Amino acid sequence: MTPIAYTVAGRTFPTQASLETEIKFHLAHALRDTVFIDALFRDIVNTYHPEVVAAGQRSDGRFEYLTWHERARRGMQTARDYRGGGVIMTYFEPLGEWRDVTVYPWRRPKPKQDIIRALRAKAAAFVPSPGPRDCCAHSGCLVRGAGLTYHHVSPTFAEMAESAFLLVSQQEHAARFGYDKFAKGTFSIADFISNDHPAVLYLEAAHRHNDWQWLCTEHHRAVTHG
């Protein structure tokens, strides 16, 4: 099969792999937690992101690569829902708002993956926040307080999520709960799932008696990703 060529920011990339190499270079050198201009990212979002194109929205070329700590400082929902790594934001017109966006729009997760992530965001309401005296459960680790994350020991969150997903209808699954990336006042699929949905109620009940512990980001990543 003949590779698909991409024309972005006045340059032609003969393969997706060659374009992704350039994207990685831009990400590695992008400023963190401050606004920057990037024509490559702009053209990728405006040309190849299906949701952006379908909605008639356009990135104006301004981007931010926000760390979790900066998102937490700003009180952003993505910091509360997903600890994770950096998030790319861009300013969309005519929406007139900043929204998160992928610069790899051809790497679209399957609906189930999107919904599981949304369920994790909904489950954030059922877990406590660490206090200043709470410490990492890993022996010898000195991390305390805000540097801690909630680790599901038994059942794991993956196990909880699989059970919760069984309560999602086929229509909700296929439509991603009617998710609209550019709906005012919304930021993720989680915003389209009601708090009284059976899957959410299941997660609430599952968090009443589960085994869990505090772990720092490093040890949490080691446990969950090996």
64 beta partners: 35, 89
CA distance 61 to 42: 5
Q: What is the largest CA-CA distance in the chain?
A: 59
Does residue 186 or residue 46 have the better pLDDT? 46
pLDDT greater than 70 at residue 38: yes
Centre a 10 Å sphere on the Cβ of residue 160 and count the other Cβ atoms it contains: 20
> Can you give the C-alpha Rg of the chain in angstroms?
19
Q: What's the confidence (pLDDT) of residue 4?
A: 82
Show Cβ contacts of residue 110 under 8 Å, excluding neighbours closer than 6 positions.
none
Tokens of residue 27, six digits: 């990400």
Alpha helices in the chain (DSSP H): 16-29, 39-48, 50-55, 68-74, 77-81, 111-123, 157-165, 170-175, 198-206, 217-225
The pTM assigned to this predicted structure is 0.76
Using CA atoms, how far residue 194 sits from 15, 77, 79, 189, in Å, is 42, 16, 20, 10
Q: If you ran DSSP here, which 8-state letter would residue 126 be given?
A: G
Q: What digits encode the pLDDT tens for the residues 128-150?
A: 999 999 999 999 999 999 889 89
Which residue did the predictor score with more confidence, 45 or 147? 45
Q: pLDDT tens digit string along 210-222? A: 999 999 988 988 8
pLDDT tens profile 70-98:
888 888 876 665 656 789 999 999 999 99
pLDDT in tens, 100-132: 999 999 988 889 999 999 999 999 999 999 999
Question: How big is the CA angle at 25 (ends 104 and 68), to the nearest 5 degrees?
Answer: 65
